[in-house]
A and B are shown apart, each in its own frame.
Chain A
């Protein structure tokens, strides 16, 4: 069957199926199981209303359970087992973890991930805050904002191509087509640099791509927060003779600290899962490995599910504090 027809059928089937499910299940509940008539009308209505929320939730809960909750448990199990040739698996305890901890590539990935964690959220948030503040009351601020925000819509792969052109190097003596090398040569650099192959520093060139994408996100959120600051606090500061920098750092920033933390943690999560940029630009060569790409290598190139799952669990472990913090906050807010 042609994929387009298959796609249309799936849409029709999915949408029709959902609507049909919700409609029919409600009808069955109200008309057949607990009919709102007869001697037990009050009891039936009450019971129907107790069941109904679960009808509404059922498909979502099934999907969430199967596609997000179950994999966490299953990955945990896989990380403790070893596949046997010819199918089946055996329990090996923490062998996968100790094998992983013995690999230099894993430590390189972990180290780089921490470097990313340190740099990307901080730089993106800082640039975002700067852009939000600068464009705040400019007449054409919205246009400027939407242009800075634009990379958000570009895929990591597209961004990788865009930045590969920026980092491109041609042999010395010929004209440089990568802007970075063109500037480097213009400033007096003799040998054009292969930026992505210089260990340690190449990490920063990869991070730049993500910073470029995430700054717009930080800017949008922080700019809304800046607008929400009560005018009086700023006016009072002006009356007291505060300069623009004092107002920004001592009046505005403290008031939006909560939002800054939110932006920071959101970008942190993106960083923990970063995969496409590294996969497309260096594929972990030249000491740029990160955890998610290490995991992909293990799962699909080395075909080692045990160690792959173990490294996935490390990512989960790193996400855990943010997960707990978010749930804690959400619960507090609901009270």
Chain B
């Protein structure tokens, strides 16, 4: 492309711009979720997340402090304070005391309230309300303001999701459950598959080609077929629904890819190394543990990442083999689906919990992308 594009600078620019557009399109949805997870529910519901990065004009309903805070000043009763309670750098452009006329006054103007109080609101939200008689009532009067609010982000959602949230909002347990499913389900198939792959790659025995073909076939068998027979089987042998069952299921479902990937890699190890070791008197077991396993590290890492991503992100297998009626063992994907159903409107909870659940795979992805790509290239059946 260089040689051709080199003749046409315009083409190079067209190329760059189209790549930027493409990347932008692909990144945009995820960024939306990420930014939303740092906004309050009100913010998410009232303005698009893409506006969160810039100051926006918003209509807010605020209240002055309660009358019990009033202090006598000469022959006046006075309440002073800030409508934003010092939490925002918003700038007020207009305000009102009646819901039907929310921009009746400008900053610095004085409004007369129904009870005879006089209220002055400055641009920064500070106000002074004075009255000739002692003010009554439980709460301060409402003030409607139109203000330019600077970008504001909060970690409150993460606190709710991870620490303080109630039963359905708290993801800490589900996070932990997902981890409990994932780690054994990643480690165990690797070992089982490695031995099998070695036998299929470097040992001569009748039926080997047939076995390899069978494994290529099993690679694409939909796991949907396995649900009922295996659930029945698990119930019959007494493990029912639980971690043991889900670990075994993930091991079984992951094995074809593991064996296939590892065998393809092991076949590529130079024959000389293995022959030399044999001549020196090494047994197959020694060759496997001392030579093949260390040399196959890249393939092992590739599969480990696949299996990790797949088990972490899985919904179906967990729903069928793990999660029982008590919900004690619910995993993150399942809890998010439930949130989608019951609290589809609570975007701050949804966005944050979704982001908590995708953060770990994303970290693994960026840290070990090299192995993932290598595994993909080896694993797509040619």
Instruction: Collect the chain B residues with CB atoms within 8 Å of residue A133's CB.
Output: 1
CB contact under 8 A between A299 and B228, given known A147-B26, A154-B30, A326-B220: yes
- Whole-angstrom CA separation of A71 from B252 in the bound complex: 11
- Those of A157-214 within 8 Å (CB) of chain B: 157-158, 160-166, 168, 174-179, 182, 212
Which of B12-20, B86-94, B127-135 faces chain A? B12-20
- A230 CB within 8 Å of chain B: no
Does B365 contact A152, Cβ atoms closer than 8 Å?
Answer: yes
Among residues of A, the one whose C-beta sits closest to the C-beta of B364 is A153
CB contact under 8 A between A279 and B337, given known A61-B196, A224-B377, A319-B221: yes
- A68 CB within 8 Å of chain B: yes
- B157 CB within 8 Å of chain A: no
Among residues of B, the one whose C-beta sits closest to the C-beta of A63 is B252
Among residues of A, the one whose C-beta sits closest to the C-beta of B186 is A11
Does A299 contact B357, Cβ atoms closer than 8 Å?
Answer: no
CB contact under 8 A between A22 and B195, given known A134-B22, A179-B28, A299-B228: yes
Does B248 contact A67, Cβ atoms closer than 8 Å?
Answer: yes
Among residues of B, the one whose C-beta sits closest to the C-beta of A2 is B180
Does B18 contact A134, Cβ atoms closer than 8 Å?
Answer: yes
Does B188 contact A18, Cβ atoms closer than 8 Å?
Answer: yes
Among residues of A, the one whose C-beta sits closest to the C-beta of B33 is A162
Does A150 contact B382, Cβ atoms closer than 8 Å?
Answer: no
Instruction: Collect the chain B residues with CB atoms within 8 Å of residue A50's CB.
Output: 205
- Whole-angstrom CA separation of A89 from B192 in the bound complex: 36
- A39 CB within 8 Å of chain B: no
Report B333 CB to chain A, min CB distance, Å: 4
- Whole-angstrom CA separation of A166 from B49 in the bound complex: 10
CB contact under 8 A between A158 and B180, given known A11-B188, A15-B187, A220-B376: no
A-B contact count (CB 8 A): 338
CB contact under 8 A between A161 and B354, given known A3-B180, A18-B192, A238-B3: yes
- Whole-angstrom CA separation of A59 from B22 in the bound complex: 46
- Whole-angstrom CA separation of A272 from B220 in the bound complex: 10
- Which among A150, A262, A313 has the highest number of chain B CB atoms within 10 Å? A150
Majority SS of interface residues in chain B?
helix
- B277 CB within 8 Å of chain A: no
- Which among A182, A244, A292, A313 has the highest number of chain B CB atoms within 10 Å? A244
Does B377 contact A153, Cβ atoms closer than 8 Å?
Answer: no
Does B285 contact A175, Cβ atoms closer than 8 Å?
Answer: no
Does B48 contact A176, Cβ atoms closer than 8 Å?
Answer: yes
The answer, among A14, A60, A276, for a CB contact under 8 Å with B193, is A60
Interface residues of chain B, those whose CB is within 8 Å of chain A, are 1-5, 11, 15-16, 18-19, 22-23, 26-30, 32-33, 36, 44-50, 176-177, 180, 183-184, 187-188, 191-193, 195-196, 198-200, 203-205, 208-209, 211-213, 215-230, 232-233, 243-244, 247-249, 251-253, 255-256, 259, 283-285, 288, 309, 312-316, 319-320, 329, 333, 336-337, 340, 344, 347, 350-351, 354, 357-358, 361-362, 364-366, 369, 372-373, 376-377, 380-382
The 7 closest A-B pairs by CB, nearest first: A67-B252, A155-B313, A60-B196, A153-B365, A74-B229, A56-B199, A161-B354
